Amino acid sequence: MSAVTEAAHIAVPPGRIGRSVRDSLVIARRNLIRMTRIPEMVLFGVIQPVMFVILFTYVFGGSMQIGNTTDADVYKNFLMAGIFAQTVTFATAGSAAGIADDMQKGLVDRFRSLPMARGAVLTGRTVADLVQTAITLLILAVVALIVGWRTGSAEPTNAGRVLAGFALLLFLGYAFTWIGALIGLSVRTPEAATSGGIIWLFPVTFVSNAFVDSSQMTPWLRHIAEWNPFSATVQACRELFGNPGVVQSDAWPMEHPVWASLLWSALIIVAFRTLAVRKYRSAAS
């Protein structure tokens, strides 16, 4: 079934925006079907974060000082927001590799020959990646509960706040998939896209408050960590989950982490979607 035929079965409001939504959903459906036919894509995407949970919990737990204690249970609850955020951002590599693979196989040229919105190919891909990220995040949350993570461990919370925390994580993950889309369009092979999509994430995720208390860093490094967009989402999730690690800071993102997380993610989407769509048009022309 062609993309044009599939689009006819998706009812959306008429007009330019409606057609763009329809075309994006067609591409998203195509990528989700591919995901179900290659289940190892989801499996391998889950194994790495699960390994991080287990290794950080049992190797570093008890040696990291959070506040005035090195209690392993305190670090376990402190850690999980960082692991969740790292997991959604590492989906960038999969998005970059998938788009680079489509480029190499000529699928992008085929899509360009169809009467569809220019940004639909990329939007559909990022939406499908978001669904896969949500599945991975759900499995990871179950694993975290098994190893002892609990919401409300430091201060009271509720189901609405916890869901809001996971929503912020998915919003950040969606924003980073647009960075992956730009990388995938900028390299020649899926292998290069995988490397380019993940190597820069290590300093972003580790120079942050994800795995250590940023108040214990040297002043210049703490300043970088506190203005890191990744740190804002981690801090927001700790507040919403009621977990330890919410430290006093004069940095605006740490004083208003929820708003900072929303703002950073929105800015990343606007900036990198614009660049990715522009790159797609020039690459496919």
185 pLDDT above the threshold of 80? yes
Q: Inter-axis angle of helices 190-198 and 159-186, to 10 degrees? A: 130
Is 244 in contact with 66 (CB distance < 8 Å)? yes
Give mean pLDDT, residues 37-48.
76
Mean pLDDT of the chain: 85
Percentage of the chain surpassing pLDDT 70? 92
Scanning the structure block, which residue is given the tokens 């972003």? 204
Per the model's pLDDT, the better-predicted residue between 249 and 269 turns out to be 269
Distance CA(91)–CA(173), nearest Å, equals 7
Evaluate the CA torsion angle 129, 124, 177, 240 in order and state its sign: negative
3-state secondary structure at position 3 = helix
- Per-residue pLDDT, 171: 97
- Per-residue pLDDT, 284: 54
Buried b (16+ CB within 10 A) or exposed e, 70-79: ebebbbbbbb
Per the model's pLDDT, the better-predicted residue between 194 and 272 turns out to be 272
187 pLDDT above the threshold of 80? yes
Determine the straight-line distance between the first and last CA of the chain, rounded to whole angstroms. 25
- Per-residue pLDDT, 62: 67
The DSSP result for 198-254, as a single string, is: HTTHHHHHHSSSSSS-GGGS-HHHHHHHHT-HHHHHHHHHHHHHT-S-----SSHHH
What are the tens digits of pLDDT across the range 215-248? 888 999 999 999 999 999 999 999 999 998 877 7
Q: Inter-axis angle of helices 120-147 and 16-37, to 10 degrees? A: 50
What predicted TM-score, i.e. pTM, was given to this entire model?
0.88
What are the tens digits of pLDDT across the range 97-145? 888 888 887 777 777 777 777 778 888 889 999 998 999 999 999 999 9
- Per-residue pLDDT, 160: 95
Helices (H), the chain: 3-7, 16-37, 40-55, 72-105, 107-112, 120-147, 159-186, 190-198, 201-206, 219-226, 229-241, 252-255, 257-283
- Per-residue pLDDT, 8: 41
Give mean pLDDT, residues 272-280.
90
- Per-residue pLDDT, 285: 54
- Structural domain count, the chain: 1
- Torsion on CA atoms 203, 206, 207, 210, rounded to nearest 10: 150
Which range marks the domain in which residue 73 is found? 3-283
Residue type, 98: G
Distance CA(1)–CA(62), nearest Å, equals 56
Scanning the structure block, which residue is given the tokens 């990715």? 276
Determine which of 93-107, 169-183, 213-227, 265-279 has the lowest per-residue pLDDT on average.
93-107
**Candidate ranges 24-28, 35-39, 65-69, 265-269; pick with highest mean pLDDT:** 265-269
Is 242 in contact with 151 (CB distance < 8 Å)? yes
